[in-house]
Amino acid sequence: MKPLFIAGLALLLLFTMTIAMVLGAVSIGWKNVLTILYDALPFSQPIPGAVIAPVYQDILLQIRVPRVLLSAAVGSSLAVAGAVFQGLFRNPMADPYVIGISSGAALGAVIAMLGGFRLAVGGFGAIPLFAFLGGIVTIMLVYSMARVGRAVPVMTLLLAGIAISAFLSALVSLLTYFAGERLHQVIFWLMGGLGGATWRQVKIMIPYALVGYICVSLFSRELNALLLGEETAKHLGVDTEKVKKILMIGASLLVAAAVSTSGIIGFVGLVVPHFIRLVAGPDHRFLLPASALLGGSLLIATDTLARVIIAPSELPVGIITALIGAPMFIYLLKKRKKLRYFGGGG
């Protein structure tokens, strides 16, 4: 049953990827898309008789393919991080941004934009670099503030996160207020989006996503135990302080990488894990891979909508994720009546 479900989600991801490559402001045609993709594979023989305009090849290989891959990586990362934070905090309201990574990243990005920094490290521009650092520094700050003696209770962590998050958001608002002619750039970044995705971004994003994912998925069993409460997890032999730290690091890497490449995209990280739990239960050994696959598909699908709905202009993808995600989620809630899989009571 469960392997089948995973296989189904993998197929769904492949399917949305293909659709997303076919659709766009410039119509390439699905046959041409497949041909170009086939030709681009290493060691493939050119298909005789197929002549495709080079501009199509460029649009597909240099614009759509990296964008689809980046969407997949960002969507997966957000969904997995959401699942981890929800489990860690035993709180269904938790999302990838709950303990302030997004505010920290936003502050970093806004500083980079307003400061007009031009530095670039390894081809990484100043904005994503500052955003990444902002997110990571925030998490470290929250973690050290929540420390009580040798332990870091999750409730304190959550509260410290909310407090710091509120503080940093205020700073971001303050800077935005004085943004002047850069206002549009700031607002646009804060809304989040995948426009202008490049192969370089994909190449940087994917290793972070992979490391983060491996980090958290190795501790799925511990996450299950933590869902029963920290004390119970300890009684079962989980070294909770160590595990919490590893999970935090893993999830923070995922979120920081996602935010720094695409800004703050809401809803994917909140809704996708809930969706999987409603259908298949709370076991993280299944929840994490399933969330990764569904999160990737969802973000590709919404991003595709965002760029075709008023083509040739684009809507910020965060608007679409919320517009589609919220009603879908409410429908599921109503259909299942009870949220007993997670804190909803009987």
Q: Does position 122 bind other proteins by CB under 8 A? A: no
Contact 196, 125 (CB under 8 A): no
Contact 299, 74 (CB under 8 A): yes
In the complex, minimum distance from the CB of residue 225 to other proteins, in angstroms, rounded to a whole number:
6
Q: Does position 218 bind other proteins by CB under 8 A? A: yes
The footprint of other proteins on residues 69-98 (CB under 8 A) is 90
In the complex, minimum distance from the CB of residue 281 to other proteins, in angstroms, rounded to a whole number:
5
Length of the chain: 346
Token look-up 């300890």 returns 234
Q: Does position 345 bind other proteins by CB under 8 A? A: yes
The footprint of other proteins on residues 270-309 (CB under 8 A) is 277, 281-283
Q: Does position 228 bind other proteins by CB under 8 A? A: yes
Q: Does position 231 bind other proteins by CB under 8 A? A: yes
Q: Which of 10, 179, 236, 322 binds other proteins (CB under 8 A)?
A: 236
Residues 6+ apart with CB under 8 A from 325: 267, 268, 270, 271, 298, 302
Q: Does position 155 bind other proteins by CB under 8 A? A: no
Q: Does position 217 bind other proteins by CB under 8 A? A: no
Region near other proteins per CB under 8 A, out of 58-66, 160-168, 228-236, 326-334:
228-236
Comparison of 334 and 338: residue with beta carbon closer to other proteins:
338
Q: Which of 71, 103, 224, 302 binds other proteins (CB under 8 A)?
A: 224
Q: Does position 342 bind other proteins by CB under 8 A? A: yes
Query: How many chain residues are in contact with other proteins, going by CB under 8 A?
Result: 28
Torsion 273-275-276-279 (CA) sign: positive
Q: Does position 221 bind other proteins by CB under 8 A? A: yes
**Is the preceding peptide bond at 207 cis, omega within 30 degrees of 0?**
no
The footprint of other proteins on residues 239-258 (CB under 8 A) is 239
Give me the residues paired with residue 124 across strands.
Answer: 121
Token look-up 């990362």 returns 77
Is the backbone of residue 150 left (phi > 0), alpha (psi -120 to 50) or beta? alpha
C-alpha to C-alpha distance for 108 and 127, rounded to whole angstroms: 7
Q: Does position 234 bind other proteins by CB under 8 A? A: yes
In the complex, minimum distance from the CB of residue 174 to other proteins, in angstroms, rounded to a whole number:
39
Comparison of 29 and 344: residue with beta carbon closer to other proteins:
344
Residues 6+ apart with CB under 8 A from 336: 278
Residues 6+ apart with CB under 8 A from 68: 17, 20, 21, 300
Collapsed DSSP state (helix, strand, coil) of residue 124: strand
Contact positions vs other proteins (CB under 8 A): 90, 150, 218, 221, 224-225, 227-229, 231-232, 234-239, 277, 281-283, 340-346
